[in-house]
Amino acid sequence: MPKIPMPLLAAAMLMVLAVWQPVAAQTGDGSYRLVPSDLIDIRVVGVPDLDAQVRVGEDGQIAYPYVGRITVSGLTMTELEAQIEAALRDGGIIRNPDVIASVSGFGTVVSVLGAVRAPGSFGLDRRTTVTQLLARAGGLAPEASGAATLRRVRLDGSLDVIPIDLDALLNRNDESQNIVIENNDELYVPEAPNYYLYGNVNAPGAYIMRRPMTVQEALANGGGISQLGSERRITIRRTAGNGVVEEVDAEMADMILPFDIIDVGERIF
């Protein structure tokens, strides 16, 4: 079997090195939203008696001195600070409170399944994107597809299924695919199907099909047509949905399907 090039893992690791930042840098812009089990440091400027460290409960709430229980799940640090300031002010505790809040421990747990080198569940201690999560899972396995699926359960119980184009993300630096991971997300990377080169090609065998491709692209992965082969004598053997194997004549620009067998016939002299 020919050696399959694997640029995806190397690209992922390079991108991780470029975007991995310390906790403070990633959460200081207010983009991080609180989830259950997060540990929060709350400080009221000039009033040390109101400084506290609290943990977000499974119900999304915290208990804060003199205020009681506050729902904080889904809030950014800026929104949390404003909510505590309003509670202190409206409760007549402090006239003009100045609250500073920060996350000292993160409660995010996510899962990575499928064709990665180390699948499993991971606790995240900082803002994490798809490429960073793949790195935590050891990178893509050699048989990984060029696409993945992110399953996300919303606070209202609804399920979002988000497709991720790994080929675009890792090979073409498409940052629109580099989604920020949220609590309880599940990233699934399926195995890519194979296609097969047979007959008069320079390197016949099985190849991984990570993206849609033409006959010409498929043959190029096998080193192209050999000297005895003919571009005019290419056939594809394809199994239909009813299990019947069909054989069709093919041209270089035709698209192939998973599990196709591409057979290059001998040149007629």
- Residue 206 has a CB neighbour count (10 Å cut-off) of 14
Domain identity same for 11 and 133: yes
Q: Residue 171: left (phi > 0), alpha (psi -120 to 50), or beta?
A: alpha
Instruction: Please tell me whether residue 258 adopts helix, strand or coil conformation.
Output: coil
The predicted model gives 164-187 an average pLDDT of 93
- The pLDDT value given to residue 141: 94
Domain identity same for 116 and 166: yes
Instruction: Let me know if residue 26 belongs to a domain.
Output: no
Domain identity same for 86 and 144: no
Which CATH number is 101's domain given? 3.30.1950.10
Hey, what's the torsion of the CAs at 220, 223, 226, 232, to 10 degrees?
-10
**In the structure, what pLDDT confidence band is assigned to residue 16 with cuts at 50, 70 and 90?**
very low
Domain identity same for 145 and 199: no
Domain identity same for 141 and 119: yes
Domain identity same for 43 and 92: yes
- Domain enclosing residue 54, as ranges: 36-105
Residues in contact with 224: Cβ distance below 8 Å, sequence separation at least 6, in sequence order: 201, 202
Instruction: Let me know if residue 31 belongs to a domain.
Output: no
Domain identity same for 164 and 128: yes
Instruction: Let me know if residue 2 belongs to a domain.
Output: no
Instruction: Let me know if residue 27 belongs to a domain.
Output: no
- The pLDDT value given to residue 87: 94
- Of 127, 213, 119, residue with least CA distance to 167: 213
Q: Is the pTM of this model over 0.75?
A: no
Domain identity same for 134 and 256: no
pLDDT(22) > 80:
no
The predicted model gives 26-52 an average pLDDT of 80
Instruction: Let me know if residue 98 belongs to a domain.
Output: yes
The predicted model gives 155-161 an average pLDDT of 85
Domain final residue pick, 105, 127, 162: 105
Across the beta sheet with 99-105, the strand order is 52-55, 39-44, 99-105
- The pLDDT value given to residue 19: 32
Across the beta sheet with 108-114, the strand order is 120-124, 108-114, 186-189, 147-153, 159-165
Determine the Cα–Cα distance for residues 268 and 231; give it in Å rounded to an integer: 11
CA atoms within 13 A on the CB side of 107: 17
Domain identity same for 201 and 167: no
- Of 239, 259, 121, 241, residue with least CA distance to 198: 259
Determine the Cα–Cα distance for residues 54 and 234; give it in Å rounded to an integer: 68
pLDDT(232) > 60:
yes
pLDDT(62) > 70:
yes
The number of domains in the chain is 3
